[in-house]
Amino acid sequence: LSLRGRFGKEFDWGVRLATGSFADAISTNQTLTDFYNRKPVGLDQAYIAWTPERAPGLRLQAGKFDVPWLRTEMTIDNDLQVEGFNQTYAYDFTAPKKDPQGPNSLRRKITFIATQLPFLERNSAFIRNINGTINLDDSRRAGRDLALYAAQVQGLFDLSPTVALTLSAADLYISPIQVFGNILQLPVIFTIPATATTPAQLITTQVNIPRDLLVAGNSNLGLSTASSNAVNRDGRLASGYNLVDLIARLEWINNKTRPKWPVMLLFNFVTNTQTHDVVVAGAGGANVFLKNNENNGYYAEIQVGRQKQRGDLQFGYTFMRVEKDAVLTPFNISDIAQQSDMRNHRLSFNYTADPRVVLTLTGIVTERPNGLLGVFGTTPQGSLNRPTTRVQFDTTFRF
C-alpha cells in the first residue's frame, strides 16, 4: 500500500507498507500457513524530498526509500529499501522542440547521484584481553558503525528516434564489515543464585551460534544477514567491499512498425577492489593464506516484447556469473539458490491477460562452479553438485 503526496511545489513525500518478515530486507514475500496466524505488515518506505525551484535539476531526499541509483539485482535486490540521505542532480541538454507538430528532439541527459546510507549502529565498548588490558583493535572494530556510500554518474542518449543508450558508472563503498560471517556472537547475562555459603554471582559472556541455524529451516528468525561470501577461520568476512559497477543499456522501440516488440539489451560488470586473502587453519593450527581472486561479477539480460495491452507478450533471458566476493550477499538477489560463487540462468515469459492482469512464468537454474563448499572449501569426494532449478509463477494485478 503506497501513498504519495506533495507540500507546495518543492516538497514531495511517500509512505509505503509491505508484508514479509521484519528482519528480511530483500524480500516482501509472505509465506502462508503457520496455523493461519496474522501476517506482519511493516514500514517499507517513508521519505521526504526537496526539489528547489531556484536550483533546477537538484533533488535532496531523506528517509527510507528505493535505491536511487541505476543497478541490477546482481548488486542490490529489487526489494531492498535503503535508509539515509540522497542527493541527485540532473542536467538535461536536450534541444528544445521547435515545431510542436514535428518529431521529438533527441534526448541528452546527465545525472549525478550521491548517497549516504547507514545500516548498522553499534554501541561503543572496550574489549579486554585475558589479562584485563584493553584490546584497541577489537574495541575499534566492535564500536564501528557500518554504512554504504554510493556515487554514480548516468548518461541517457537517444541515438535515433527509436534507439536509446544509457551508460552508468558507480562506486559503492561499504565501511569495513568485519563482523559478518558464518558465526553470530550473542551476549548473554545470567545470575547464579546465592547459596548458604556463597553470594549471588552475575555472569557475563557471549555465545557463538552458526548463522545458518537462524536463517534456515522452519524455525528461522527471518534474518537477512546470512552471507555466502568468503570467511576467515575466525568467522569474519575475509574481504572488504568497494564495488565499481558499470552498466550499459540499449533500448529499441519502433512505435510505427513493431509497437508490440520493443527490445532491451543490458550488460552489467562489477568488480570488488577490496578483496583480501582468505585465512584458513593449516598444520599445527598455523594460519594459511589462500589467494582470493573472486572479485568479479557479470550480468547480461535481454527482453523482447511489452506488458501494456491485452494479448501482449514479453520474453526475457538473464545470465549471471557472480564470484565469491564480487558483491555483499546479504543485499543482492534473493530468488536464486545462492547469491555468490554461482552461475545462473533465468528465463521468463509474460502474458498480459488484461491491461490490469499480467501472468508470469519464470525458470531459474543456479549452478555452483566450485563445488558444494565453494572455492575456499574442500568438497568431499562423491558429493553431488547438481544445478538447482526453481519454477516460479506470478499473477500481478495493477490498478
One-character DSSP codes across 50-101: E--TTSTTEEEEEEEEE--S---TTTS-TT-EEEEEEEEEEEE-PPPPS-TT
How far apart CA 147 and CA 157 sit, in angstroms, is 33
Q: What is the mean pLDDT of the chain?
A: 86
| Unique residue bearing C-alpha cell 503506497 | 2
Helix, strand, coil percentages for the chain (3-state, nearest 5):
5, 50, 45
User: Could you give the CA distance from residue 166 to residue 155 in angstroms, rounded to a whole number?
Assistant: 6
Prediction pTM value: 0.84
Other CB atoms within 10 Å distance of the CB of residue 386: 8
Q: Residue 145: what pLDDT?
A: 77
b/e burial code for range 82-107 (CB count within 10 A of at least 16 → b): bbbebbbeeeeeeeeeeeeeeeeeee
Cell, residue 22: 521484519
> Is the per-residue pLDDT at 228 higher than 90?
no
Alpha-carbon distance of 141 to 124, in angstroms, equals: 9
On the 0-12 / 13-18 / 19+ scale of CB atoms within 10 A, 183 is middle
Separation between Cα atoms, residue 389 and residue 363, nearest integer Å: 7
For the ranges 59-73, 115-129, 214-228, 257-271, the lowest mean pLDDT is seen at 214-228
pLDDT of residue 30: 84
Find the range with the poorest average confidence among 79-88, 96-105, 133-142, 296-305. 133-142
Kindly state the cell numbers that stand for 304: 523482447
The H or E element spanning position 372 is none
Exposed e or buried b per residue across 352-368, where buried means at least 16 C-beta atoms within 10 angstroms of its C-beta: beeeeebebebebebeb
Q: Which of the four pLDDT bands, split at 50, 70 and 90, describes residue 31?
A: confident
| The pLDDT of residue 225 | 52
- Using CA atoms, how far apart are residues 225 and 209, in angstroms rounded to an integer? 14
